[in-house]
Chain A
Amino acid sequence: MKQLVDRTPSYLADEKRSDKAIGWMQDQLPKLVLAPSFTVILLFVYGFILWTVYLSFSASRMLPNYEWVGLDQWERLWNTLTWQIALDNLFIFGSLYIVLCMLIGLMLAILLDQKIRVEGGLRTLYLYPMALSFIVTGTAWKWFLNPGLGLERTMHEWGFESFKFDWLIDSEMAIYTVVIAGVWQASGFVMAMFLAGLRGIDNEILKAAQIDGAPAWRIYTRIIIPQLGPVFMSAFVVLVHLAIKSFDLVIALTGGGPGNATELPATFMYSYSFTRNQIGVGASSAVFMLAIIAAIIVPYLYSELKGGRK
Chain B
Amino acid sequence: MSARSQDRPSQDRLSQDNALRSAIYWRALIYTLLIVIAVIYLAPLFVMVVTSLKSLEEVRLGNMMALPLEITFEPWVKAWGTACLGLDCNGINGYFWNSIKMTVPAVAIGTLLGAFNGYVLTKWRFKGHNIVFGMMLFACFIPFQIVLLPMSQVLGILGLANTTSGLVMVHVVYGLGFTTLFFRNFYEAFPDELVRAAIMDGAKFFTIFWRILLPNSGPIIVVTVIWQFTNIWNDFLFGASFASGESAPITVALNNLVNSSTGVKEYNVHMAAAITAALPTLLVYVVAGRYFVRGLMAGSVKG
Interface size on B, residues (CB 8 A): 104
Closest residue of B by beta carbon distance from A181: B44
Interface residue ranges, A against B (CB under 8 Å): 1, 3-12, 17, 21-22, 26, 29-31, 33-34, 36-38, 40-42, 44-49, 51-52, 55, 64, 108, 111-112, 114, 116, 122, 124-137, 139-144, 146, 149-151, 153-154, 157, 184, 188-189, 192-193, 196, 213, 230-231, 234-235, 237-238, 241, 244-245, 247-248, 251-252, 255, 265-266, 269-270, 273-274, 279, 282-283, 285-287, 289-290, 293, 297-298, 301, 304-305
**B166-210 to A contact mask, C-beta < 8 Å, 1/0:** 000000011011001000110011001001100100101100000
Say whether B143 contacts A244, CB under 8 Å: yes
Chain A-chain B contacts (Cβ-Cβ < 8 Å), number: 291
**Most chain A CB within a 10 A radius of its CB, from B51, B188, B205, B277:** B205
**Most chain B CB within a 10 A radius of its CB, from A38, A234, A241:** A38
Interface of A is mostly: helix
Given the interface pairs A31-B126, A128-B285, A274-B241, the reply to whether A136 lies near B278 with Cβ below 8 Å is yes
Say whether A251 contacts B146, CB under 8 Å: no
**Most chain A CB within a 10 A radius of its CB, from B133, B204, B251, B274:** B274
Say whether B64 contacts A154, CB under 8 Å: yes
CB distance from A71 to the nearest CB of B (A): 18
Say whether B251 contacts A133, CB under 8 Å: yes
Of B116, B147, B259, the residue contacting A255 (CB under 8 A) is: B259
Interface of B is mostly: helix
CB-defined contacts of B150 to chain A, threshold 8 Å: 47-48, 51-52, 55
CB-defined contacts of B255 to chain A, threshold 8 Å: 135, 139, 251-252
CB-defined contacts of B1 to chain A, threshold 8 Å: 213
CB-defined contacts of B60 to chain A, threshold 8 Å: 149
**B293, CB-defined interface residue at 8 Å:** yes
Interface residue ranges, B against A (CB under 8 Å): 1, 4, 27, 30-31, 33-34, 37-38, 41-45, 47-48, 51, 59-60, 63-65, 113, 116-117, 119-126, 130, 132-139, 141-151, 153, 173-174, 176-177, 180, 184-185, 188-189, 192, 195-196, 199, 202, 204-205, 230, 233-237, 240-241, 251, 254-255, 258-259, 267, 270-271, 274-275, 277-278, 281-282, 284-286, 289, 292-293, 296-297, 300-303
